[in-house]
């Protein structure tokens, strides 16, 4: 995570742990080490973008300047329940079942 | 007569004329699949019963005169990241090992309305992340030209199925080259339309701002015909664009006189295989001989496309793939303690290494403190790349170059070094960043007998120009059937 | 010691908009259906589904922005907020971070200390989450996506409030404005209005803000007041004992009267916002803005003024009647029908309020129609029923929204104006009560009250009271 003077990216164990929490991925120790190396290499490569002066350039998220795509407020669906639940790994009646979510 | 050696449009004509029955064509394709799958493995799911039932229905409609289009009755294969109602849709991932969509992707619906018979779902790199179709959870697909080599990816199954002549045409998706590059490796023709041309509704997203669905077939005529059928303005996709003049087949004209073609000098530089370079320049020569004005120019920024692409695609993918969590569909781990453990175990067991790698990278570049440095920087670079193309298209009607720096590598040669694999996307990703249409078509073989792909790139909404040039070039050569096709 | 500290409070208020359909799909927003009934691929995060924005959501958000003095961002975008939780089917929420639809507004509140401006930092649009039901029998929760994708606006205030009283006044005012706009019913109990409280304390006179905490899950005005008091005390205690406040999200448990931290190793609170690639930007043209402005209904302050000027109502009446849109609507409808503003006001301020209090109801829960109130007023005003009967009939109107004309007819409650019949009855009463008659003649004025009462009783309450008095005096 910390940028060393040479410009080489170094990803700490802590960072990999943190990204794993964000991404909800549990990596084995081996995978973590590989992920660190992969990410360092990728970031070093991505740092190539810093050669470009983009100070005068706006970020472009959409290619086309299409705006205002709306739907009217008209209800169309009837009962979507069975379709919605058709692929559920675990269900109870008409609801999905998940491990208890109460905080604490 | 080997039915499977026909193009989709040729078969469509025979069906229309009553010379071939839809069921006959369907059975022939199913038979080819049965014979060749062991060697090529293009499919994740073969829809045997459904296809035969559908063939009868379609035949009835054709006989009644209710279906008259050029693709009526022609069997097709669909990449496994397009939802098909009632038919397993896995994205070649374990995490969707049992997912049966309750709706059909708009592009596929459009094909059904045109009378298509769906033969099955084709193999791909898991969630379309990869360039070899080796990251599939359901085994690798092999190149019909040489089964020791990869078919390319991520639409490797679709391209291999067409090249092996298991099917007449197929749908693929292209986020960074996933239609064009495997088309190039498999010696078939694949077209990535302008962003927004084909609805993304029902396409399981990888990089939402880059994904497009497109056709893969034996020739340019098929591609234009299929593109015409799947193009639609879809109110369910907010990024869908109402295309005017979507009569792409009208561009199937053998005439490039006066057409200005630019070859980016940056596409011929270091890293390009010399045999590929030779084939590309020979193809340019043919177009020149046909009356096009061809010149080389500096496109610039080419080396920045890959890093920008991987930041954007990984960021969007990390978010798009959050929904695969073991709650609503797909794989849930067997044993877990509490919610977050269930999430982590389901996802870690359900996703393969390449998908995890990109999710990790995407989560990192979006995380607090890095968003500006990576994600916004990539979006700014994208704007510059778009500008570079705008300048190029102010001078040229189309751009010409290789689809990939090399022909198909050997199985197992790419995955050990992901970054090296990513570099293979150098000529394709910028087209997605800029939303442009691009086509890859065969233009020869290397000394190993592996196909070489010629890429033509058009400005936004200028599919007709690349179709015209591709068609004109195609007239100069004969379609080469892969060794597996002739079996 | 508390006196040395000042409490600094900002609110994030979530309001469910009164659209017929969800924000990104055409599923109904109706309440009360079986779990997962109002769902489709979009609001359950099915692979391949895509959102399409409901235009009405934008219009309601702008209407609220205009009514709260906000600037409207004429170029606005959606962003993804990424976090894993099962009530959030995509594991990201489509919201607005970088270019929210409204910003920099404010509303004036009134407290005992006078009026004060509370700034509004921004208003943004987003989608609501589904509902988690905790199973009583097993260690599991059940997920229902009927509410998933219901449109919300989040109104983020500046940290301008200093007490629970100001917070309540702010919420009250906000609720009123939004109800008047018809943008939401703002029922806290049902969750269509929810508030998160950001609170910090600092030494009086200090310019720097203290470390704040965020309290979620507060379900009523009263609970908000209690949560604020408790959190303020907790923070002051921490500081006084030399500890420091930790910036965190806390959940208020109103039954137990304390809050607890929602900290978890798995909640990194790093939402990785980025522009939603599946939605295109919103551009609000001047014309569109003008159209929305032109459709804005009369808000409370204007209504209040008009009630005083046009209907000649006392300021107090106008104040109460405009305190809830439901009351004001009832008032105006009934006045339109009977043209007796003061009488309508009296019924609403008197009997209606009394019965509401008795049943601890909110104005929104009033179920009777203005037509029946107007009919009752006409009956009473024409002397067709007397005051006592009118109250009795009103209770029926209030409880069951009965038609007063029919009810009075069926129950035979009309006032008896037949003088001959009255005279006969009164003559009989005088004969039966010689003692009272004597008292009256001896100057005991009160005795006549007794005789009136007896007469009314004999007439089953339907006699015209004026006529009874007159005839009694005459016969005596």
Calpha distance B28→B167 (Å, rounded) = 9
Grade residue B49 by pLDDT with cuts at 50, 70 and 90.
Answer: very high
| Residue of B238, B332, B348, B361 for testing the chain C interface, max C β-carbons within 10 Å | B238
Q: What is the dihedral of CA B194, B197, B198, B203, to 10 degrees?
A: 60
With CB atoms and an 8 Å threshold, state whether B209 touches C48.
no
Residue B1: its pLDDT value, please?
61
Residue C188: its pLDDT value, please?
87
With CB atoms and an 8 Å threshold, state whether A71 touches C54.
yes
Considering only CA atoms, which of B261, B262, B211 is closest in space to residue B237? B211
Calpha distance C55→C23 (Å, rounded) = 8
Considering only CA atoms, which of B351, B299, B353 is closest in space to residue B325? B351
With CB atoms and an 8 Å threshold, state whether B208 touches C89.
no
Residue C256 in any domain: the answer is yes
| C26 neighbors A75 (Cβ within 8 angstroms) | yes
Work out how many domains chain B is built from and give that number. 1
Considering only CA atoms, which of B410, B426, B475, B151 is closest in space to residue B272? B426
Picking from C48, C90, C92, the nearest residue to B105 by CB comes out as C48
Q: Tell whether the torsion through CA atoms of B268, B271, B277 and B279 is positive or negative.
A: negative
Residues C207 and C82 in one domain: yes
A3 has pLDDT over 70: no
Picking from B310, B332, B345, the nearest residue to A90 by CB comes out as B332
| Per-residue tens of pLDDT for chain C, all 476 residues | 456 899 999 999 999 999 999 999 999 999 989 999 999 999 999 999 999 999 999 999 999 999 999 999 999 999 999 999 999 999 999 999 999 999 999 999 989 989 999 999 999 999 999 999 988 888 899 999 999 999 999 999 999 999 999 999 999 999 999 999 999 999 888 889 999 999 999 999 899 999 999 998 788 889 999 999 999 999 999 999 999 999 999 998 888 888 888 867 677 789 999 999 999 999 999 999 999 999 999 888 889 999 999 999 999 999 999 988 889 999 999 999 999 999 999 999 999 999 999 998 888 889 999 999 999 999 988 888 888 889 999 999 999 999 999 998 888 888 777 777 788 888 888 888 888 888 888 888 778 888 888 888 887 777 777 788 888 888 77
* Span B60-69, average pLDDT: 97
Residue B119 in any domain: the answer is yes
pLDDT digits (tens, 9 = 90+) for B317-368: 999 999 999 999 999 999 999 999 999 999 999 999 999 999 999 999 999 9
With CB atoms and an 8 Å threshold, state whether C274 touches B366.
yes
Chains that touch A (3 or more CB pairs under 8 A): B, C
pLDDT digits (tens, 9 = 90+) for B187-241: 999 999 999 999 999 999 999 999 999 999 999 999 999 999 999 999 999 999 9
With CB atoms and an 8 Å threshold, state whether A74 touches C135.
no
* Span B435-463, average pLDDT: 98
Calpha distance B51→B116 (Å, rounded) = 10
With CB atoms and an 8 Å threshold, state whether A63 touches B380.
no
Task: Spell out which residues of chain A touch residue C129, defining contact as CB-CB under 8 Å.
Answer: none
Q: Does residue C90 belong to the interface with chain B, where contact is any CB pair within 8 Å? A: yes
Indicate the SS3 state at residue A14. helix
CATH number for the domain harbouring residue B158: 3.90.1300.10
Calpha distance C72→B101 (Å, rounded) = 41
B&C contacts, CB < 8 Å: 99
Task: Spell out which residues of chain A touch residue B340, defining contact as CB-CB under 8 Å.
Answer: 24
| Residue of B364, B375, B385, B431 for testing the chain A interface, max A β-carbons within 10 Å | B364
**Closest residue, chain A, to B309 (C-alpha):** A46
Residue C2: its pLDDT value, please?
57
With CB atoms and an 8 Å threshold, state whether C44 touches A84.
yes
A6 has pLDDT over 90: no
| Residue of B367, B380, B424, B436 for testing the chain A interface, max A β-carbons within 10 Å | B380
Residues C464 and C400 in one domain: no
Calpha distance A18→A12 (Å, rounded) = 10
Going by the DSSP 8-state scheme, the letter that residue C65 receives in this structure is H
Residue B154 known to be catalytic? yes
Picking from B306, B327, B364, the nearest residue to A19 by CB comes out as B364
Residue B357 in any domain: the answer is no
Q: Which of the listed residues C269, C288, C307 is the one where a domain comes to its end?
A: C288
Q: Does residue A26 belong to the interface with chain C, where contact is any CB pair within 8 Å? A: no
Q: Does residue C280 belong to the interface with chain A, where contact is any CB pair within 8 Å? A: yes
Grade residue A1 by pLDDT with cuts at 50, 70 and 90.
Answer: very low
Residue C358: its pLDDT value, please?
92
Which residue carries 């954007």 as its tokens? B312
Residue B376 in any domain: the answer is no
Work out the burial of residue B438: count CB atoms within 10 Å of its CB; fewer than 13 is exposed, 13-18 middle, 19 or more buried.
Answer: buried
Q: Find residues 258-277 of chain C whose CB sits inside 8 Å of chain A.
A: 260, 262, 264-266, 268, 270, 272, 275, 277
Task: Spell out which residues of chain A touch residue C134, defining contact as CB-CB under 8 Å.
Answer: 100-102
- Mean pLDDT score of chain A: 89
With CB atoms and an 8 Å threshold, state whether B338 touches A66.
no
Q: Does residue A14 belong to the interface with chain B, where contact is any CB pair within 8 Å? A: no
Task: Spell out which residues of chain B touch residue C80, defining contact as CB-CB under 8 Å.
Answer: 319
Q: Does residue C420 belong to the interface with chain A, where contact is any CB pair within 8 Å? A: no
Calpha distance B443→B1 (Å, rounded) = 26
With CB atoms and an 8 Å threshold, state whether B367 touches C272.
yes
According to the 3-state scheme, what is the secondary structure of C155-183? EEECCCECCHHHHHHHHHHHHHHHHHHCC
Global confidence as pTM: 0.89
**Which member of B155, B173, B178, B232 is catalytic?**
B178
The answer to which of B67-81, B455-469, C440-454 has the lowest mean pLDDT is: C440-454
Picking from A57, A64, A86, the nearest residue to B380 by CB comes out as A57
Chains that touch B (3 or more CB pairs under 8 A): A, C
CATH topology of domain A1-52: Histone, subunit A (1.10.20)
Residues C29 and C172 in one domain: yes
Picking from A52, A60, A88, the nearest residue to B329 by CB comes out as A88
* Span B18-28, average pLDDT: 98
Picking from B83, B209, B327, the nearest residue to C47 by CB comes out as B83
Q: Which of the listed residues C229, C261, C288 is the one where a domain comes to its end?
A: C288
- Residue B238 belongs to what domain range? 3-255+437-474
Residues C190 and C238 in one domain: yes
Å between C163 CA and nearest CA of chain B: 33
| Residue of A60, A83, A101 for testing the chain C interface, max C β-carbons within 10 Å | A101
Q: How many CA atoms lie within 13 A of B459 on its CB side?
A: 14
Picking from B328, B344, B383, the nearest residue to A88 by CB comes out as B328
- Residue C126 belongs to what domain range? 2-288
Residue B448 in any domain: the answer is yes
Q: Does residue A88 belong to the interface with chain B, where contact is any CB pair within 8 Å? A: yes
Residue B63 in any domain: the answer is yes
Residue B140 in any domain: the answer is yes
Strands, sheet with C92-95, edge to edge from the N-terminal-most edge strand: C92-95, C79-82, C274-275
ipTM above threshold 0.90: yes
C426 contact partners, CB below 8 Å, separation of at least 6: C451, C455, C468, C471, C472, C475
Q: Does residue A17 belong to the interface with chain B, where contact is any CB pair within 8 Å? A: no
Work out how many domains chain C is built from and give that number. 3
| Highest-scoring range by mean pLDDT, A9-13, B93-97, C244-248, C362-366 | B93-97
Q: Does residue A26 belong to the interface with chain B, where contact is any CB pair within 8 Å? A: yes
Domain ranges of chain A: 1-52
Task: Spell out which residues of chain C touch residue A102, defining contact as CB-CB under 8 Å.
Answer: 134, 141
**Which member of B79, B121, B382, B464 is catalytic?**
B79
* Interstrand relation of C140-144 and A95-99 (parallel, antiparallel or unpaired): antiparallel
Å between A42 CA and nearest CA of chain C: 19
Q: Which of the listed residues C411, C427, C444 is the one where a domain comes to its end?
A: C411
What are residue C461's phi and psi, to 5 degrees?
80, 0
Considering only CA atoms, which of B382, B403, B404, B378 is closest in space to residue B457? B403
| B215 neighbors B222 (Cβ within 8 angstroms) | yes
Residue B445 in any domain: the answer is yes
Calpha distance B465→B480 (Å, rounded) = 24
Task: Spell out which residues of chain A touch residue B419, defining contact as CB-CB under 8 Å.
Answer: 41-42, 45
């Amino acid at each position: 995570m910390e940028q060393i003077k040479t410009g080489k990216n170094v990803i700490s164990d802590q960072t990999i742990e943190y990204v794993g929490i964000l991404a909800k991925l549990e990596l084995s120790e081996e995978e973590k080490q590989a992920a660190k190396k992969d990410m360092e290499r990728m970031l070093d490569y991505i740092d190539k973008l810093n050669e470009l002066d983009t100070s005068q350039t706006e970020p472009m998220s959409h290619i086309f300047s299409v705006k205002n795509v709306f739907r009217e407020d008209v209800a169309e669906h009837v009962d979507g329940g069975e379709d919605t639940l058709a692929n559920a790994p675990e269900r109870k009646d008409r609801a999905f079942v998940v491990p208890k979510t109460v905080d604490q | 007569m080997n039915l499977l050696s026909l193009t989709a449009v040729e078969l469509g004509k025979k069906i229309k004329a009553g010379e071939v029955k839809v069921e006959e064509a369907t059975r022939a394709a199913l038979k080819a699949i049965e014979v060749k799958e062991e060697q090529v493995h293009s499919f994740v799911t073969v829809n045997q019963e459904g296809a035969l039932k559908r063939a009868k229905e379609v035949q009835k409609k054709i006989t009644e005169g209710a279906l008259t289009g050029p693709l009526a009755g022609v069997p097709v294969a669909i990449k496994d990241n397009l939802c098909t109602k009632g038919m397993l849709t896995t994205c070649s991932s374990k995490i969707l090992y049992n997912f049966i969509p309750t709706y059909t992707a708009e592009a596929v619906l459009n094909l059904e309305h045109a009378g298509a018979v769906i033969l099955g779902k084709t193999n791909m790199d898991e969630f379309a992340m990869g360039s070899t179709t080796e990251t599939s959870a359901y085994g690798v697909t092999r190149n019909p030209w040489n089964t020791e080599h990869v078919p390319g990816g991520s639409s490797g199954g679709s391209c291999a199925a067409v090249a092996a002549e298991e099917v007449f045409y197929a749908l693929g998706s292209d986020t960074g080259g996933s239609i064009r590059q495997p088309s190039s490796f498999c010696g078939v023709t694949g077209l990535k339309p302008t962003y927004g041309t084909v609805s993304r509704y029902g396409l399981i997203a990888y990089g939402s701002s880059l994904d497009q669905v497109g056709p893969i077939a034996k020739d340019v005529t098929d591609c234009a015909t299929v593109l015409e059928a799947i193009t639609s303005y879809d109110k369910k996709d907010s990024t869908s664009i109402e295309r005017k003049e979507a009569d792409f087949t009208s561009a199937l004209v053998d005439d490039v006189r006066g057409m200005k073609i630019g070859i980016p000098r940056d596409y011929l530089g270091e890293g390009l295989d010399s045999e590929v370079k030779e084939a590309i320049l020979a193809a340019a020569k043919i177009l020149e001989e046909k009356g096009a004005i061809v010149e080389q120019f500096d496109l610039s920024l080419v080396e920045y496309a890959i890093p920008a692409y991987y930041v954007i695609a990984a960021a969007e993918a990390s978010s798009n793939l959050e929904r695969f969590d073991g709650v609503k569909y797909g794989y849930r781990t067997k044993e877990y303690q509490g919610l977050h453990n269930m999430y982590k175990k389901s996802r870690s067991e359900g996703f393969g290494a390449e998908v995890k790698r990109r999710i990790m990278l995407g989560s990192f570049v979006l995380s607090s403190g890095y968003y500006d440095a990576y994600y916004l920087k990539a979006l700014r670079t994208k704007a510059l790349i778009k500008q570079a193309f705008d300048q190029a298209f102010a001078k040229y009607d189309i751009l010409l170059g290789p689809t990939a720096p090399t022909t198909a590598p050997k199985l197992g040669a790419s995955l050990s070094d992901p970054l090296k694999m990513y570099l293979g996307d150098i000529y394709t990703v910028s087209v997605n960043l800029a939303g442009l249409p691009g086509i890859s078509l065969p233009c020869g073989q290397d000394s190993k007998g592996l196909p070489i792909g010629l890429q033509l790139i058009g400005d936004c909404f200028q599919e007709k120009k690349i179709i015209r040039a591709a068609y004109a070039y195609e007239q100069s050569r004969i379609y080469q059937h892969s060794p597996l096709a002739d079996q | 010691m508390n006196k040395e500290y000042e409490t600094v409070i900002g609110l994030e208020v979530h309001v469910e908009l009164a659209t017929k359909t969800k924000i990104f799909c055409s599923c109904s927003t109706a309440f009360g259906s079986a779990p997962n009934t109002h769902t489709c691929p979009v609001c359950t995060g099915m692979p391949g589904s895509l959102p399409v924005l409901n235009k009405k959501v934008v219009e309601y958000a702008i209407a609220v922005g205009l009514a709260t003095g906000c600037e409207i961002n004429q170029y606005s975008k959606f962003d993804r907020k990424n976090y894993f939780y099962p009530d959030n089917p995509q594991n990201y929420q489509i919201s607005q971070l970088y270019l929210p639809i409204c910003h920099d507004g404010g509303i004036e509140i009134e407290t005992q200390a006078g009026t004060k401006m509370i700034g509004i930092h921004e208003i943004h649009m987003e989608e609501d989450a589904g509902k988690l039901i905790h199973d009583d029998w097993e260690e599991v929760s059940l997920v229902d996506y009927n509410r998933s994708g219901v449109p919300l606006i989040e109104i983020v205030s500046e940290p301008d409030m200093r007490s629970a009283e100001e917070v309540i006044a702010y919420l009250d005012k906000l609720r009123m404005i939004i109800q008047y706009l018809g943008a939401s019913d703002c029922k806290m109990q049902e969750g269509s209005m929810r508030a998160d409280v950001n609170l910090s304390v600092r030494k009086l006179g200090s310019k720097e803000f203290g470390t704040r905490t965020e309290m979620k899950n507060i379900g009523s005005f009263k609970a908000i007041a209690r949560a604020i008091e408790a959190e303020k005390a907790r923070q002051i205690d921490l500081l006084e004992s030399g500890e420091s406040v930790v910036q965190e999200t806390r959940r208020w448990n109103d039954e137990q009267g304390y809050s607890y931290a929602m900290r978890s190793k798995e909640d990194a609170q790093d939402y990785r916002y980025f522009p939603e690639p599946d939605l295109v930007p919103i551009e609000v043209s001047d014309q569109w803005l003008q159209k929305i402005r032109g459709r804005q209904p009369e808000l409370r302050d204007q209504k209040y003024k008009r009630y005083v000027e046009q209907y000649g109502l006392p300021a107090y009446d106008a104040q109460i009647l405009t305190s809830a849109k439901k009351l004001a609507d009832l008032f105006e409808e009934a006045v339109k029908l009977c043209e007796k503003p003061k009488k309508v006001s009296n019924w609403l301020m008197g009997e209606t309020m009394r019965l509401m209090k008795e049943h601890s109801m909110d104005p929104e829960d009033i179920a009777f129609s203005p037509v029946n109130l107007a009919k009752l007023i006409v009956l009473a005003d024409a002397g067709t029923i007397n005051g006592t009967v009118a109250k009795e009939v009103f209770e029926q109107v209030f409880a069951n929204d009965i038609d007063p004309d029919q009810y009075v007819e069926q129950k035979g409650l009309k006032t008896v104006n037949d003088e001959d019949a009255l005279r006969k009855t009164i003559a009989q009463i005088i004969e039966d009560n010689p003692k009272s008659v004597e008292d009256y003649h001896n100057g005991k004025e009160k005795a006549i009250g007794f005789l009136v009462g007896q007469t009314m009783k004999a007439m089953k309450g339907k006699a015209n009271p004026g006529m009874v008095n007159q005839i009694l005096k005459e016969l005596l």
